[in-house]
């Protein structure tokens, strides 16, 4: 399958992230170019991008507008110190991001990634309660199966044990609530599940009342749709009820929209899709269409004002920031990306294609090993039956076979996730799922031999808390 008759780079030095390095280096999958909805491999094969890169290329690859904006900026102002000085584009980018956010979330802190956005949001939540005179509000709540990046705060509030166990203990003072899949698993639900949302959200209140004093909770962080841990779509009214509970107890609600932001659900943000306004939104990825690392944290104006009003006029209100916060090329890329969204109405395009993706995804129901199919907006997850002793092997084998057949999908645990660029064509959506179907049939027919791959998960419990 890999790259015959081509000169590969020296593979010794690069430590590939979240990847089985020895296995990957034995059969590398290397892209040398990308345009539109396709990658080009080193041996000149075209691979349909069924995942928008790592969920981060909503406007499709090789956008000239972004390349021009970044190139021009690089030649004009390559860098301005991010602390104590700045540059006009940082303010313009913040204004544009603020305008793109749900109403009220119009104070913007720039970071360089989703993980940094999460750390920043958690730190803002903790510091906010302190500046408001409530230092005992210092506990952070996340969700089982939540993915909030890889930094220490993120793995602490995150609920994928496999990402944390390798490093020993993370932060103290963190708790987790259940994820919605517990109540709707194996249901082949199309879109948003109808039932159970209120009861599940009420468990959050019950937990903080019985195990904690609600007055000690700083924030609750949730992904509106849990992406990385398997496309988990929340039931109706669940997020609304979480909002009510947070408001009642003075807890900041953080939506981690690193995946759900920028049109993925057919709306600008998951907050728009579910009509729930959190106190803080984290985003990254699609903000620059994946071309320059950049993240953003949007907070309600009251939160920003609390910092301004409760510290001395010459004080640094938030001792936090990055050398590359709002670097000029990232700001240029973000503005160009937001222009593309505005001009091409990519969110509407995503919404209009979601029905096609839903039918294509659910056409896989009944195939061997397929345990559940979930979808929302331009995302679908196909979950396989767990195979004892071989966690993740079925999805990994399916992913490899799809790649061989010219379609890039993502595997995560026992799940194949599909999240194409919003520029995808209807026939390309059909191709993604017919390829997955063929790959499943192939892998199942190959039996044990087809599953004989090094696996991402060491054991089943890595998905559990």
Contacts to ligand PLP by CB under 6 A: 113-115, 118, 147-149, 223, 227-228, 256, 258-259, 284
CB of 263 to ligand PLP, least distance (A): 15
Residue 188 corresponds to which tokens in the numbers above?
A: 């082949």
Residue 383: strand pairing partners: 372, 415
Among all chains, which residue has been given the structure tokens 């899709």? 273
CB of 2 to ligand PLP, least distance (A): 26
CB of 256 to ligand PLP, least distance (A): 4
Q: Which is nearer to ligand PLP, 331 or 440 (CB)?
A: 331
Q: Which is nearer to ligand PLP, 124 or 284 (CB)?
A: 284
CB 353 within 8 A of CB 430: no
Q: Which is nearer to ligand PLP, 223 or 279 (CB)?
A: 223
Q: Which is nearer to ligand PLP, 381 or 450 (CB)?
A: 381
Where does residue 119 rank: exposed (0-12), middle (13-18), buried (19+ CB within 10 A)?
buried
CB of 108 to ligand PLP, least distance (A): 17
Q: Return the DSSP state at 456.
A: S
Q: What is the DSSP pairing of strand 46-49 with strand 407-408?
A: parallel
Contacts of 24 (CB under 8 A, 6+ apart): 16
Q: Which residue has the CB atom at the shortest distance from ligand PLP?
A: 114
Q: Which is nearer to ligand PLP, 118 or 253 (CB)?
A: 118
Where does residue 366 rank: exposed (0-12), middle (13-18), buried (19+ CB within 10 A)?
exposed
CB of 166 to ligand PLP, least distance (A): 17
Query: How many residues are there in the chain?
Result: 465
Q: Which is nearer to ligand PLP, 287 or 443 (CB)?
A: 287
Strand (E) or helix (H) holding 221: strand 217-222
Q: Which is nearer to ligand PLP, 231 or 353 (CB)?
A: 231
Q: Which is nearer to ligand PLP, 163 or 435 (CB)?
A: 163
CB of 408 to ligand PLP, least distance (A): 16
Give the CA distances from residue 361 to residues 206, 408, 432, in Å, rounded to whole numbers and listed in that order: 36, 15, 9
CB of 152 to ligand PLP, least distance (A): 13
Q: Which is nearer to ligand PLP, 66 or 444 (CB)?
A: 66
**Dihedral angle over CA of 223, 228, 233, 234, nearest 10:** -30
Strand (E) or helix (H) holding 67: helix 64-76
Measuring CA to CA, which residue among 217, 341, 225, 228 is closest to residue 289?
A: 341
Can you say how many angstroms the Cα of residue 305 is from the centroid of all Cα atoms in its chain? 29
CB of 17 to ligand PLP, least distance (A): 9
CB of 258 to ligand PLP, least distance (A): 3
Give the CA distances from residue 377 to residues 14, 227, 229, 300, in Å, rounded to whole numbers and listed in that order: 35, 12, 17, 26
CB of 114 to ligand PLP, least distance (A): 2
Q: Which is nearer to ligand PLP, 118 or 231 (CB)?
A: 118
Contacts of 325 (CB under 8 A, 6+ apart): 82, 109, 110, 111, 112
132: number of Cβ within 10 Å: 15
449: number of Cβ within 10 Å: 8
């Amino acid at each position: 399958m890999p790259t015959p008759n081509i000169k590969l780079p020296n593979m010794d030095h690069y430590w590939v992230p979240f990847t089985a390095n020895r296995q990957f280096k034995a059969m590398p999958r290397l892209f040398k170019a990308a345009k539109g909805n396709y990658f080009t491999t080193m041996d000149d094969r075209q691979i349909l991008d069924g995942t928008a890169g790592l969920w981060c290329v909503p406007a499709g690859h090789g956008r000239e507008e972004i390349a021009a904006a970044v190139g021009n900026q690089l030649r004009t102002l390559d860098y301005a110190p991010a602390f104590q000085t700045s540059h006009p584009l940082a303010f313009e980018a913040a204004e544009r991001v603020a305008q793109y956010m749900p109403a009220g979330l119009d104070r913007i802190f720039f970071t360089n990634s989703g993980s940094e956005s999460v750390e920043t949001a958690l730190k803002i939540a903790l510091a906010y309660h302190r500046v408001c005179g409530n230092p005992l509000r210092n506990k952070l709540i996340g969700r089982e199966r939540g993915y909030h990046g890889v930094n220490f705060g993120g793995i602490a509030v995150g609920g994928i044990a496999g990402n944390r166990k390798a490093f020993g203990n993370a932060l103290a003072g963190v708790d987790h609530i259940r994820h919605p899949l517990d109540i709707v698993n194996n249901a082949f639900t199309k879109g948003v599940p109808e039932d159970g949302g209120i009861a599940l959200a009420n468990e959050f209140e019950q937990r903080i009342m019985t195990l904690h004093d609600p007055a000690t909770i700083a924030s609750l962080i949730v992904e509106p749709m849990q992406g990385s841990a398997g496309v988990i779509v929340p039931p109706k009214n669940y997020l609304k009820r979480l909002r009510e509970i947070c408001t009642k107890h003075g807890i900041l609600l953080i939506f981690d929209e690193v995946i759900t932001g920028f049109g993925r659900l057919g709306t600008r943000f998951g907050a728009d899709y579910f009509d729930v306004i959190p106190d803080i939104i984290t985003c990254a990825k699609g903000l620059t269409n994946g071309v320059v690392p950049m993240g953003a944290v949007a907070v309600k104006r009251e939160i920003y004002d609390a910092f301004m009003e409760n510290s001395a006029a010459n004080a640094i209100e938030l001792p936090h920031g990055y050398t590359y916060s709002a670097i000029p090329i990232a700001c240029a890329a973000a503005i160009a990306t937001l222009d593309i969204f505005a001009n091409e109405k990519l969110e509407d395009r995503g919404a209009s294609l979601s029905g096609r993706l839903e039918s294509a995804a659910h056409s896989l129901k009944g195939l061997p090993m397929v345990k559940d199919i979930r979808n929302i907006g331009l995302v679908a997850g196909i979950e396989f039956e767990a195979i004892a002793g071989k966690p993740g092997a079925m999805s990994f084998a399916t992913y490899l076979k799809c790649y061989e057949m010219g379609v890039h999908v993502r595997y995560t645990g026992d799940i194949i996730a599909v999240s194409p660029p919003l520029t995808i064509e209807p026939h390309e959506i059909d191709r993604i799922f017919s390829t997955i179907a063929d790959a499943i049939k192939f892998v199942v027919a190959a039996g044990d031999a087809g599953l004989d791959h090094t696996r991402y998960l060491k054991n089943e419990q890595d998905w559990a808390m």
